[in-house]
Structure 1
């Protein structure tokens, strides 16, 4: 028996949301998620579920104050952001917006070799959706970062 279940990675995000059924539908429509597992109470409240996006699994549950599991809307936002690599960032970004996400930063080419944009899903989680478009050496990234910092006033 492996210490990591088959199909999982060392780190697996666990999202807390205020409506897991709606969240599953959003992640399906926005990112092509497929449901892997669902454990619900007799009233249908999702206590734990798992879905897959690309080659990664994500765990999710309804918020539960008694267990200290609070969704971003309850606590006023989330300091955590998820990065999702996809083949066609512009298409998936627009798909997520159409499914109900809110744009935080539009899709654009980045100095570090990705094309990416950032959005917030309807459940308060932040996602950066990206496509890797250029392999760079660390020296190239450092140089481009210095140029970027100079253009943006050291911000």
Structure 2
């Protein structure tokens, strides 16, 4: 595969749409701690951001795309793993973000919380708290394939 420093190939790269892209970039960097890799367009029409090993693309809305706030419903959650989730939670909460799930340990062994951004996208920030097999918390594992373990 050809290497391309503009697009990571070892991760899912969601494209997230915002009504006010400049405000969204500011919110995501200030509130959630994302760093900007690049932006393009004049005025800005897109940007690539990252937090740890998580990468996202952000773009402005168009006539055929809407935000969760415009739809009046959540359309997905965006999980991001951060090592010091406790400090991340405190920073996010002190920035005034809407916390929709307080910091808690899940039945499947994650310490996590959830927050909404300025356009209603649901962000889930997490770190591993305990190593549990799916069977230990009530799930059933699928047979192992060459693609996953």
TM-score tier by shorter-chain length is: 0.7 to 0.9
- Pair 1:21 & 2:17 matched: no
Show the counterpart of 2:46.
48
Assess if the C-alpha contact under 8 Å between 1:14 and 1:59 holds in 2: yes
Assess if the C-alpha contact under 8 Å between 2:35 and 2:50 holds in 1: yes
1:123 is paired with a residue whose SS is coil
- Higher mean alpha-carbon deviation, 50-59 vs 90-99, is at 90-99
Show the counterpart of 1:73.
69
Show the counterpart of 1:106.
102
User: Any stretches of 5+ residues in structure 2 without a counterpart?
Assistant: 140-149
Q: TM-score, normalised by structure 1?
A: 0.78
Runs of 4+ in 1 over 6 A off after TM superposition: none
1:111 is paired with a residue whose SS is coil
What's the RMSD between the two structures over aligned residues?
Answer: 2.1
Give aligned pairs, total.
138
Q: TM-score, normalised by structure 2?
A: 0.81
TM alignment of 1:108-123, pairs within 5 A: 108-123=104-119
Q: CA separation of 1:52/1:135 partners in 2, compared to 1, >3 Å: closer, same or farther?
A: same
Show the counterpart of 1:58.
56
Q: CA separation of 1:10/1:91 partners in 2, compared to 1, >3 Å: closer, same or farther?
A: closer
